[in-house]
Amino acid sequence: MTFTTDTEIDRIASGVLGLSLPKAEWTHAAHFALALWLLRHREDVPSIIPGVIRAYNEATGVKNTDSSGYHETITQVSVRAARAFASGFAADHPLYDLANRLMASELGCSDWLLAYWSKERLFTPEARREWIEPDVRALGF
Provide the pLDDT confidence category of residue 117 given band limits of 50, 70 and 90.
Answer: very high
Residue type present at position 85: F
Output the CA torsion sign for 99, 102, 107, 110.
Answer: positive
pLDDT per position as a tens digit, 13-56: 999 999 999 999 999 999 999 999 999 999 999 999 999 999 99
